[in-house]
Amino acid sequence: MRYVTLLGVLEMTHAVTALGGHASVIGVSSFAELMKKLENAPFDRIVLDPSLLTAADANTIVAYSKKHLVSMVAYTSFSPTALEACVILARNTSAQFVHRGSINERFTLKRALFLAPDAQLGQALLARLSKQMDLLPCEIRNTIAAMLQTGAGPSTPTDLAAQSGVARRSLDRWLTLAGFTSARLLIGAPTIVAGYQAITSSTIPLARVAGMLGCATQRCIDARFHALLGVTSSQLRHFPFEIPVAASMMAQRLAGVDNGIAAEGEADARYEHVDPISSWFDDVAGNRPTGSSGRASAGISIYQDQ
């Protein structure tokens, strides 16, 4: 993974320590330099301190991230100088904010750097689910859209219902009416969006990725990935899918959407040959995907055995 950073010296040290050699980092010292770097080469993540941005800078970076679908991490303390840029970034992007000085700062920073949501995957998935999403009431739709864009959200269907301001039964009814197969599967989707790039484009050990995703063991995230992508995390690392393929697979499992249906303007036909993706791995692990939705809940909660 390639990161470009616009940070102070101390923040830069923290970021580099957090990445620990699992990614390439290019640091810049001014906004102009940042934009120059971004124009010259694509980056997977932009990590910046909003206190180093003016309002105009923040608007420019918002426009860039919208055009190029790049994930952003805002690593900052809420000083008056940072506030304006923070608000612009929060209003217009799915930037993850890491607060300086919080007790879990280092852990949150590491998680944000590695698990910044794959903006392209989130967007592609939303595009494929747009028909189903349109049938949902506004509150549920917004909550689910935020989950898929930010790669974070409620951890149980009951929490999803509460966060959307509806009863659990109503949630299930609405989801069924809209064509979603299960609320439980939907809850697992942000994990995939959050962990996708860390698994496919970095060398960070999978057990560590599992820890950052809140799982005690690799087997736990394997269950989640298998439920929605039909492959385990190590299979995905060895044979990463193109984003549209992954989004189609997930849409298929989440709402029975056929690979070619929901994408808007994307050449899904390019991936028609990969239809039986799961069969690629039959010889790798003998682990033929079943599409069973129940597997998402097979994960073992980390700390219960301690």
Q: What is d(CA 187, CA 66) in angstroms, rounded to the nearest whole number? A: 25
Sign of CA dihedral 161, 167, 168, 169: negative
Site for another protein in 201-240 (CB under 8 A): 207-208, 210-216
Sign of CA dihedral 74, 80, 81, 84: positive
90 near another protein (CB under 8 A): yes
Among 15, 86, 171, 199, which residue interacts with another protein (rule: CB under 8 A)? 86
Comparison of 16 and 135: residue with beta carbon closer to another protein: 16
Beta 96-99 vs 24-28: how paired, if at all? unpaired
79 near another protein (CB under 8 A): yes
- Sole window of 13-21, 181-189, 242-250, 281-289 interacting with another protein (rule: CB under 8 A): 13-21
DSSP assigned state of 7: -
80 near another protein (CB under 8 A): yes
Alpha helices, DSSP H, located in 179-241: 183-201, 206-212, 218-229, 233-238
Among 35, 69, 145, 162, which residue interacts with another protein (rule: CB under 8 A)? 162
Comparison of 55 and 87: residue with beta carbon closer to another protein: 87
Shortest distance (Å) from residue 155 CB to another protein: 5
* 3-class DSSP state of 45: strand
Rounded to 5°, the CA angle 39-41-44 comes to 110
Binding residues vs another protein (CB under 8 A): 10, 13-14, 17, 77-80, 83, 86-87, 90-91, 97, 99, 101-104, 106-108, 110, 154-156, 159, 162-163, 207-208, 210-216, 301-303, 306
